[in-house]
Amino acid sequence: MSDQKPPSAPPPFGEVSRRSFLRNSAILASGAAALAASLAPLRELSNYTSVELFLQKHYKELTPAEMQKVLDRIAREVEQQYHIRPRVRDYKPMDGVEFVYCLNLTRCIGCRKCVHACVAENNQSRNPEIQYIRVLKMPHGSLDMERADHNYAPASVPEKGFFYMPVQCQQCKNPPCVKVCPVKATWQEPDGITVIDYDWCIGCRYCEAACPYFARRFNWTKPSIPKERLNPEMSYLGNRPRRQGVMEKCHFCIQRTRQGKYPACLEVCPAGARKFGNALDPESEVAYILKNKRVFIQLKEELGTSPRFFYYFDV
């Protein structure tokens, strides 16, 4: 332990304060300069947020008039950035509708056309690349996803001895992502679609950690979409362009399906492996499949998430 130094007699009072005043000013000035220098990267910041966006309320708290203003703001921003006037709408769920997806594993050939149709429809970032659908190449006789190949690239598909399993948001009835979100930026709509308010998400990525299906994607940087590829038919909870630092994922093409159209991935599928519709309508194709196909599975059924996405086989 060190021994105590005897207190040195303080120099005359006024002198100390003048000298220390000058010294302190010098320290403060150089400190402020160093701080300013360290913050220099902020000068590159552009279009990060706006007063309107910063103060915007949660989706569920916006009145119709406020929502219109928000949609106008989004249209304005898109036009500014892409020089295309988009049509931005907020489509509401339809009564008596619960969307489900059925995917025929016997038919899927692993061509990944669905992946790219999805990117084009939903204005995903091309650089860095964001894709909602991940197609797994699986060896026959196993559903163990640890044996899946994610990056297969043969000259032609399908390959002998394998089957293909596309995975996207499973639109769970009991979604772990919704449960963990600290700010209720993601929730389940009455028609079964789990949506994200891109203007409310804080980017903590807890939902991404919670999802058992690797369905969520984060905007690690500012997304970039070539102007000529932009889809101008947009919706608030769907395919409008996202900002840096927020989460996104498959929303069953909400801007199409809430108008009675099919999702983009279904329309493009050359094998007819994808079926989509209203499970509450007994006449629908999906109701027929769920009733009559003898083999169908929900991924990771044991987790209790209860997906609205069913995989089936032709028997």
Partner 1 sequence: MSLRTKIRNYFVFLWRCARIAFAGDSRYYAWMGFLSIIILLGINAYAKQFVHGLIVTGMSDQVSWGVYIANFTFMVGIAAAAAMLVIPVYIYNNKELHDLVIFGELLAVAAILMCLAFVAVDLGRPDRFWHLIPGIGKFNFPGSMLSWDVIVLNGYLLLNVHICGYLLYCRYLGKTPAKWFYIPFVFLAIAWAVSIHTVTAFLYVGLGGRPFWNSSIVGPRFLASAFTAGPALIILALQVIRRVTDYHIHDRALLTLRSIVQVSMLINVFLLVNEIFKEFYTRTSHVASSRYLYFGLHGHHALVPWIWVAIIFNLVSMTLLVLPLSKSLRYLNVACVLAITGIWIEKGMGLVVPGFIPTPLGEMVEYSPSLNETLVCLGIWAFGILCYTIFLRMSIPILQGRLSRANEGLPDVHLVNAR
Taking CB under 8 A as the criterion, which residues in 1-20 touch partner 1?
1-5, 7-8, 10, 13
Q: Is 21 in the site for partner 1 (CB under 8 A)?
A: no
Q: Can you say whether the dihedral through the CA atoms of 114, 120, 125, 129 is positive or negative?
A: positive
Binding residues for partner 1 restricted to 238-257, rule: CB under 8 A: 243-247
The pairs formed by 139-143 with CB atoms below 8 angstroms and a separation of 24 or more are 143/297
**Min CB(219)–partner 1 separation in Å:** 7
Q: How long is the chain?
A: 315
The DSSP-derived string for 252-313 is S-HHHHTTTPPPHHHHH-TT--EEEEETT-TTSHHHHHHHH-S-EE-TTGGGS---SEEEE-
Binding residues for partner 1 restricted to 93-122, rule: CB under 8 A: none
Cβ(244)–Cβ(221) below 8 Å: yes
> Nearer Cβ to partner 1, position 92 or 179?
179
Among 19, 32, 47, 58, binds partner 1 (CB under 8 A): 58
The piece of 48-56, 73-81, 92-100, 103-111 that touches partner 1 (CB under 8 A) is 48-56
Among 52, 79, 81, 220, binds partner 1 (CB under 8 A): 220
Q: Is 67 in the site for partner 1 (CB under 8 A)?
A: no
Torsion of CA 201, 198, 168, 113, to 10 degrees: -150
Among 25, 49, 224, 306, binds partner 1 (CB under 8 A): 49
**Min CB(73)–partner 1 separation in Å:** 16
Q: Is 63 in the site for partner 1 (CB under 8 A)?
A: no
**Min CB(267)–partner 1 separation in Å:** 25
Binding residues for partner 1 restricted to 166-205, rule: CB under 8 A: 167, 176, 179-185, 200-205
Binding residues for partner 1 restricted to 285-304, rule: CB under 8 A: 300, 303-304
With residue 235 as reference, give the H or E element that holds it.
strand 233-235
Among 85, 92, 147, 261, binds partner 1 (CB under 8 A): 147
| CA–CA gap between residue 79 and residue 100 (Å, rounded) | 34
